[in-house]
Amino acid sequence: MSNVTYTQDVHQAWGGVIPELASRAHEARIIPVVDAAINNAKITKQSISAIAFTRGPGLPGSLMVGVSFAKAMALSLNLPLIDVHHMQAHILAHFIKTPGQEFNPPQFPFLCLTVSGGHTQIVKINSYFDFEVIGETIDDAAGEAFDKTAKLLGLPYPGGPLIDKYAKMGDPTKFSFAKPQIKDYDFSFSGFKTSVLYSLQKWQAENPNFVEENLADLCASIQKTIVDVLIDKMKKAVKEYKVQDIALAGGVSANSGLRHAFEKLGKDLKVNTHIPPFSYCTDNAAMIAITGYHKYLAKDFTGQDISAMARWEM
Ligand code: KG4
Ligand code: ZN
């Protein structure tokens, strides 16, 4: 009914998220954002059936603001509370119905490639509540690989969307970077990041304007390396798990190179691909609400005695 997002610009000046600034911005914005959501939906607080909130995983200070707010609101309105796992919510974003838009969710069981600023996972989803993580990153997440290499190029935070933008004008075969080979369905991006760093140091020693002169080709090549690593693992997983549906989730699924490669993978392997609308890819409240909705139908509530989980296995 409404999906309000407040983006914290305060982190741009620092080239990354500063946890304390994030908590403070959450504290300052949470009431105006909830108010806007209620007003946009044209409902009253009294017509709400339950409060769903993100319990984790994530930055503890930010999570605690949301958890405390949700508990207080539920207590004051005498409503049930529903705790939501952030990564489960990214996946269940596929089940959000948008008025006036076609609704074609993935069929169980399906495989989801979840790629965000903090996570990179391949998950097998058997039902709304039955999730099996079959592979994940052992170091950096895909979003971090985008953001950290963007920083090496002198781009502001978050650099992922900017790499995407410049990559559209560049040649992805111009430069090649290390693609770490990790067993089974796990990922690793730290070796790739180091390879970009050392290559740039070498090229810039020869030509101080190297990055400016080659920005589009560098971005296209960086993007292609990250996308290839993700798609290769996904391809292997689809063949082994023999699913008919595959899905993309998390902030990095906004990347145009990844969306394109994912569609192509589906065509090549003759499986159905599902990519949520852009506004449901990056962090948003609708994905928490849809997860809350399914937990509500299952009467899966939580008490006032819980707290935030910075780390939380799905
Ligand atoms: O899921 P998300 O919004 O927040 C987390 O839970 O982490 O993901 C944010 C991540 C950031 O690393 C950001 O750079 C990346 O998603 N991202 C992109 C694009 N849009 C967002 N990365 C590459 N290309 C994009 N178009
Ligand atoms: Zn996220």
User: Measured from the CB, is residue 250 less than 6 Å from ligand 1?
Assistant: yes
* Amino acid 278: pLDDT: 87
Does pLDDT of 14 surpass 90? no
**Res. 196 pLDDT band, cuts 50 70 90:** very high
* Amino acid 295: pLDDT: 98
- Which residue has the CA at smallest separation from atom 13 of ligand 1? 160
- Cα–Cα distance list, 40 to 1, 35, 45 (Å): 8, 9, 12
Determine the average pLDDT of the residues in 171-176: 98
Domains in the chain: ranges and CATH: 9-91+282-297 (3.30.420.40), 104-276 (3.30.420.40)
Does pLDDT of 74 surpass 90? yes
Å from CA of 43 to ligand 1 middle: 31
Q: Which of 173, 164, 117 is nearest to 145 (CA)?
A: 117
> Which two tokens mark 240?
């082994």
User: Measured from the CB, is residue 125 less than 6 Å from ligand 1?
Assistant: no
Q: Which of 117, 223, 108 is nearest to 162 (CA)?
A: 223
Least confident residue range of 46-55, 63-72, 97-106, 284-293: 97-106
- Which residue has the CA at smallest separation from atom 8 of ligand 1? 251
> Which ligand has the nearest atom to the CA of 7?
1
pLDDT digits (tens, 9 = 90+) for 103-117: 999 999 999 999 999
* Amino acid 2: pLDDT: 94
**Res. 211 pLDDT band, cuts 50 70 90:** very high
Does pLDDT of 16 surpass 90? no
Q: Could you identify the atom of ligand 1 that is nearest to the CA of residue 284? A: 3
Distance from C-alpha of 173 to C-alpha of 82, rounded to nearest angstrom: 47
Does pLDDT of 143 surpass 90? yes
* Amino acid 181: pLDDT: 85
User: Measured from the CB, is residue 67 less than 6 Å from ligand 1?
Assistant: no
Does pLDDT of 307 surpass 90? yes
Whole-structure pTM value: 0.94
Å from CA of 217 to ligand 2 middle: 28
**Res. 101 pLDDT band, cuts 50 70 90:** confident
Does pLDDT of 235 surpass 90? yes
> DSSP characters for the chain?
--------GGGGGGTS--HHHHHHHHHHHHHHHHHHHHHHTT--GGG---EEEEEESS-HHHHHHHHHHHHHHHHHHT--EEEEEHHHHHHHGGG---TTS---PPPSSEEEEEE-SS-EEEEEESSSS-EEEEEEBSS--HHHHHHHHHHHTTPPSS-HHHHHHHHTTS-TTS--------STT-B--HHHHHHHHHHHHHHHHH-TTHHHHHHHHHHHHHHHHHHHHHHHHHHHHHHHH--SEEEEESGGGG-HHHHHHHHHHHHHHT-EEE---GGGTSS-SHHHHHHHHHHHHTT--B-TT----SS---
Å from CA of 150 to ligand 1 middle: 12
Testing ligand 1's pocket by substitution, the residue of 116, 225, 262 carrying the most ligand atoms inside 8 A of its CB is: 116
pLDDT digits (tens, 9 = 90+) for 57-72: 999 999 999 999 999 9
- Which residue has the CA at smallest separation from atom 16 of ligand 1? 251
Å from CA of 201 to ligand 2 middle: 32
Å from CA of 303 to ligand 2 middle: 24
Nearby residues for ligand 2 (ion, Cβ within 5 Å): 116, 283
User: Measured from the CB, is residue 161 less than 6 Å from ligand 1?
Assistant: yes
Does pLDDT of 99 surpass 90? no
Taking residue 213's Cβ as centre, other Cβ atoms within 10 Å add up to 12
